Amino acid sequence: MTRTDLKRLAPIMHGYYSTAESVPFHVRVEAALRTAGEDAIVCGPTALRLRGVDLPGRLVRDTRVWIQVPVCQTWPRRAEVRLVRTNHVGPTRLRRGLPVLDVPSCWLQLASESNVDELVEVADAMMRRKQPFTTKTSLAMAIDAHKGSPGVTRARTALGLSREGTDSIPETDLRLLLVRAGLPTPIVNLGITDDWGQVIYILDLAYEKQKVAIEYDGAYHVGNRQQMQQDAARRRALEDQGWRIITITSADMLNDPDGIVASVRKALFK
């Protein structure tokens, strides 16, 4: 390589460089692993991201690579790496050819730096309705196996607020908003059937007894005329069954959370 070529190299990790302008995430992770030694494994939010778990914004913006190594292993501090030293090694599996820690243990590691809401968001994302990564029972077992670990009390609180079968982080945030305001915990993704027993709608959040539904509108179907027509028909069918549907947008969540709570409370206790 010429001197000019060397100047064009982009740093990936200490001692590793790339000729590409944009370095894929898994390449950065591999570089960190090679630097950390043979016993190192990917953990924390880095492993969850490699597995495809949706993460809240702060964790997505955190560019550090989380690596777990044995307590006895010496390793210099590096700003681009969040090092976890432990002798407790949970189950591992390969992802993109890289060794990653099991999902429940990764979630528990987050408790040392994350608040309760973030832990609930990640737990819900891991227990999502379609192709879940873990279960509430598995997360509870991870907590019991790591008593005394940093943040374990916070993780236990978050687990009590989490729910299996969710669809998105905004829907989780909406549920937390209602619960924190003192309202009953709504049912997540309640299936509504027609007279023939066919599911015609899956409600994001619902109070079945009062027939009050709260739907988070992420504008996913804007521009898809067929889908919008189907949604309108299903909504009409729900209203025919006596359901009150409250639609919430991201702007409502940002600008008028108190108004959301007031609308739901009024519908529940009219």
**Measured distance CA(227)–CA(230) in Å, rounded:** 5
How many Cβ atoms sit within 10 Å of the Cβ of residue 268? 16
Task: Determine the average pLDDT of the residues in 70-78.
Answer: 79
Query: Which CATH number is associated with domain 169-268?
Result: 3.40.960.10
SS (H, E, C) 101-123: ECHHHHHHHHCCCCCHHHHHHHH
User: So what's the pLDDT on residue 20?
Assistant: 61
Candidates 30, 25, 101; CA nearest to 60 is: 25
Helix pair 136-145, 103-110: axis angle to 10 deg: 60
Average pLDDT for 86-101 = 83
Q: Are 207 and 184 in contact (CB under 8 A)?
A: yes
d(CA 169, CA 123): 10
Check if the beta carbon of residue 65 is closer than 8 Å to that of residue 25: no
Backbone region of residue 175 per phi and psi (left: phi > 0; alpha: psi in -120 to 50; beta: other values): alpha
Q: Is residue 42 within 8 Å of 100, Cβ to Cβ?
A: yes
**Mean pLDDT score, 111-115:** 94
Question: Which of 3-7, 105-109, 225-229 shows the lowest mean pLDDT across its residues?
Answer: 3-7
Residue 12: band (very low, low, confident or very high) from pLDDT cuts 50, 70, 90: low
Q: What tokens appear for 209 in the block? A: 């007894």
How many angstroms separate the CA atoms of 80 and 34, rounded? 14
Instruction: Look at residue 265 and tell me whether its pLDDT is greater than 70.
Output: yes
Check whether 109 has a pLDDT greater than 80: yes
Is residue 6 pLDDT above 60, yes or no? no
Say what the pLDDT of residue 22 is: 67
Q: Domains of the chain: which residue ranges?
A: 3-161, 169-268
